[in-house]
């Protein structure tokens, strides 16, 4: 697992989700929480985002 920190724009590109959708899903606990980086900066652990994507794929395969 990677401990690389991704900023919001990278997370948007990787997931295909918009900024507002990221925050909405975080508030509903259906997306990994961001981590504070100091000041107003936040990021996400790459490993958390990749696991979330893997879980989405697994759920889609089970539903099919």
Whether 47 contacts 13, CB under 8 Å? no
Total domains in the chain come to 1
Interhelix angle 8-15/19-27, nearest 10 degrees: 90
pLDDT over 80 (residue 1): no
User: Model confidence at 2, in pLDDT bands (50, 70, 90)?
Assistant: low
**Which CATH number is 25's domain given?**
1.10.238
The 10s digit of each residue's pLDDT in 12-63 is: 999 999 999 999 999 999 999 999 999 999 999 999 999 999 999 999 999 8
What does the alpha-carbon distance between residue 12 and residue 21 come to, in Å, rounded to a whole number? 9
What does the alpha-carbon distance between residue 2 and residue 58 come to, in Å, rounded to a whole number? 20
- What is the per-residue pLDDT for 64? 78
Whether 37 contacts 43, CB under 8 Å? yes
User: Taking the model in full, what pTM does it have?
Assistant: 0.90
Domain with 23, as residue range(s), is 5-63
């Amino acid at each position: 697992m990677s401990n690389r920190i991704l900023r919001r724009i990278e997370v948007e590109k990787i997931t295909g989700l918009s900024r507002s959708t990221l925050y909405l899903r975080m508030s509903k606990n259906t997306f990994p929480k961001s981590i504070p980086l100091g000041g107003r900066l936040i990021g996400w652990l790459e490993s958390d985002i990749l696991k979330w994507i893997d879980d989405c794929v697994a759920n889609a395969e089970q539903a099919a």
